[in-house]
Amino acid sequence: MKITRVEAWPVEMRLAEPYTIAYETVERVTNVFVRVITNRKVAGHGCAAPDEQVTGETPASALAALQGPVATELTGSDPMRRTLLIEQLREPLRASPSVRAAVDMALFDLLGQVANLPVWKLLGGFRDRMRTSITIGILPLDETVERARHWVGEGFRRLKLTGGKDADGDAARVLAVRAAVGEAIELRFDANQGFNVEQTLRFVEAARSAKLEIVEQPTPRSEPDLLGRVTAEVPLPIMADESLVTLRDAYRLARGGLADMVNVKLMKVGGIAEARQIDAVARAAGLECMVGCMDEAALGIAGGLAFALSRPNVHYADLDGHIGLQGDPSAGCMTLKGGTLFPSAQPGLGWIPPA
């Protein structure tokens, strides 16, 4: 089997509900899809969700990378030698993690089709479904409570509130949501790097009675020692997100005791294979993993879900980036029911694009 052609194209999608986090407001996103075509009339698909703040990429740079070095390297190659191809692309795509993720997904998608197995089973199939949280952006208190009640009514049992601009206001919103949804709903909080150590400690103390499950990335990733101080002083699990981009980051976080948990996103770490290595480091260090996402089409979420379902150490999922994306061409390649994600039974990642 040989790769005969690589195609890439951008897809802009509006969000049904724009949202605000500590450093930006998002109303629309662009994913870049890739199709790896072979001489056996089978093609693998992946998608990149570039984010200049997190991955350092733009849609234009991602598209250029897929049409340039990726197409050059893959054309004429054997797609079943996935590890070789990804290693050969590592240096050209060093600054393009979401592009590496898209290529990695496409090659896994191809492998699954050839093996006639869904990728989540090909990777081990430790579990066959996973409950996900749903994220509520920064909103006024009353609107935050309304959205929380809405999502609980839709079957979600894990809510993630975002903040990072106002520690006292964030604590008030968390407490109001807890009062509205009751004790049975799991609450998480993500400051998106918006706090310093003192603000984090003030927020945690003020929100203590809400019984938060996780506090995610409270401090800037450029100052890892601050994250370590928070982890040492706060009596809640602290999760690293933006501080974890590479395998080396995972090692540094684990070695320094800088976090209790890590958030692994395919788009920032470079794909399924790299995510599995990072999880191995985390597991060896006793750090639990969560699989997260960017604003990703369902195809990207299917890749993250396949990784999560294959790894016993991935205890949490925050795979909601596809919800509310209007015009997602890959919608339907996995299923969301009552806050639980179910993978496709189709070979590969489950997307069958129209002919």
Q: Domain residues of the chain, as ranges? A: 3-116, 121-343
Q: How much is the average pLDDT of 186-212?
A: 97
Contacts of 24 (CB under 8 A, 6+ apart): 53
Encode pLDDT of 69-108 as tens digits.
Answer: 999 999 999 999 999 999 999 999 999 999 999 999 999 9
Task: Tell the CATH topology of 3-116.
Answer: Enolase-like; domain 1 (3.30.390)
Which DSSP letter does residue 162 get? E
The pLDDT value recorded for residue 355 is 65
What are the Cα distances from residue 117, in Å, to 44, 279, 301, 345, 346? 13, 23, 18, 8, 7
Task: Determine the Cα–Cα distance for residues 104 and 83; give it in Å rounded to an integer.
Answer: 9
pLDDT band at 21 (very low <50, low <70, confident <90, very high): confident
pLDDT band at 182 (very low <50, low <70, confident <90, very high): very high
Q: How much is the average pLDDT of 262-278?
A: 97
The pLDDT value recorded for residue 25 is 80
Encode pLDDT of 242-269 as tens digits.
Answer: 999 999 999 999 999 999 999 999 999 9
pLDDT band at 23 (very low <50, low <70, confident <90, very high): confident
- The CATH class, in words, for 121-343 is alpha beta
Encode pLDDT of 32-82 as tens digits.
Answer: 999 999 999 899 999 999 999 889 999 999 999 999 999 999 999 999 999
The pLDDT value recorded for residue 252 is 97
- State both tokens at 49: 């969700």
pLDDT of residue 194 exceeding 80, the answer is: yes
Task: Determine the Cα–Cα distance for residues 302 and 343; give it in Å rounded to an integer.
Answer: 7
pLDDT of residue 143 exceeding 70, the answer is: yes
The pLDDT value recorded for residue 24 is 75
State the residue for tokens 């986090």.
Answer: 21
Q: How crowded is the C-beta side of 334, counted as CA atoms within 13 Å?
A: 29
Q: Across the chain, what does the average pLDDT equal? A: 96
CA neighbor of 160 nearest in space, from 151, 268, 236, 298: 151
Complete DSSP assignment for 86-139: HHHHHTTTTT-HHHHHHHHHHHHHHHHHHHTSBHHHHTT-S-S-EE--EEE-S-
The angle subtended at Cα 275 by Cα 272 and Cα 278, nearest 5°, is 160
pTM, to two decimals:
0.95
State the residue for tokens 């009514």.
Answer: 153
Distance of CA 108 to the CA centre of its chain: 17
- State both tokens at 321: 């980036």
The pLDDT value recorded for residue 278 is 98
SS3 44: strand
Contact between 133 and 159 (Cβ < 8 Å):
yes
What are the Cα distances from residue 14, in Å, to 17, 29, 150, 196, 297? 9, 6, 21, 33, 11
